[in-house]
Amino acid sequence: MAINIDKIRGRLNKLQNTSKRVDNLWKPTPGKTQVRIVPYKFNKENPFIELFFHYNINNRTYLSPQSFDRPDPIVEFADKLKRMGDKEDWKAAKKMEPKLRTYVPVLVRGEEGEGVRFWGFGKTVYQEILGYIADPDYGDITDPFNGRDITVEYTSAEDAGTNYPVTTIRVKPNVTPLADNEDDMKAYIQNQTEITDVYEELSYNELKEVLESWLNPTDDSEEETDEPSTSTETLSTKAEEPTLSSDEVDKKKLDSVASAFDDLFSN
């Protein structure tokens, strides 16, 4: 049997994308780390990038087009399930809805040679950072000349005695520049990766095929379940709610779910 070149190319592309993602993401490690939020090259008015993700669809993570105000077939299907009026359908639909994850470009102190990377966090940390910026005693902590560093303290779930890791932040009281000289400062701002190069947005039809294969798994789709398309950084956070397995969808109401899918996408 001849080798499947398309499958080999697809596998190579996935491995390359995974390496790119790891290189461009920063995850706190146990203890304290000092970081500095850097103005985002692709939106200098706002460094905070709000993205929505579908978690554990075929054991993978998918960026929702809803992040960019575009139609999302998984969201449309979840809405259809909720309108069916059944309690179990409604619960299943809620678990299918995309979850918010916020990213911000940061420079990690002591690791400046690694360049600017993206730090992803959940709602609690996001609100804390915005609270500092809204406080007139702090103001724009992202300003490259008169901003402030942030101390990030990360505690593992085991050490915290909780079911999930705990991240706390403290903004430094002293104003400091992003870098010691303007050339380095400009380089940190200009030499950045766009977030969509890290997390790929599938087309509407591609995401619809993902949904269909998840609801109706085949041997080919099961081959991919050991290769999550997300980093451990996103899988290990409290931001994700309990996710939905295909069994939860089709155990009791496979026929009605299949019918809902056909009704929604047959036109």
Task: List phi, psi (to 5°) of 185.
Answer: -60, -45
Q: What's the whole-number mean pLDDT along residues 171-184? A: 96
Confidence (pLDDT) at 215? 86
Per mean pLDDT, which range of 8-17, 73-82, 198-207 is the poorest? 8-17
Rounded to a whole number of angstroms, the distance between the first and last alpha carbons of the chain is 38
Confidence check: pLDDT of 92 > 70: yes
Q: What's the whole-number mean pLDDT along residues 137-150? A: 96
Confidence (pLDDT) at 109? 97
Higher pLDDT, 144 or 19: 144
| Domain-wise residue ranges, the chain | 24-265
Per mean pLDDT, which range of 83-87, 139-143, 212-216 is the poorest? 83-87
* The architecture CATH gives domain 24-265: Alpha-Beta Complex (3.90)
Confidence (pLDDT) at 59? 85
Query: pLDDT class for 57, splitting at 50, 70, 90?
Result: confident
Confidence (pLDDT) at 13? 58
Instruction: Tell me whether strands 25-26 and 117-121 are parallel, antiparallel or unpaired.
Output: parallel
pTM for this entry: 0.76
8-56: pLDDT as tens digits: 655 555 555 544 557 899 999 999 999 999 999 999 999 999 999 999 8
Confidence check: pLDDT of 124 > 70: yes
Measure the CA–CA gap between 116 and 187, rounded to whole angstroms.
10
148-166: pLDDT as tens digits: 999 999 999 999 999 999 9
**Distance (Å) of CA 239 to CA 13, 54, 72, 104, 118:** 28, 12, 20, 16, 17
Measure the CA–CA gap between 152 and 136, rounded to whole angstroms.
22
99 within 8 A of 53, measured Cβ to Cβ? yes
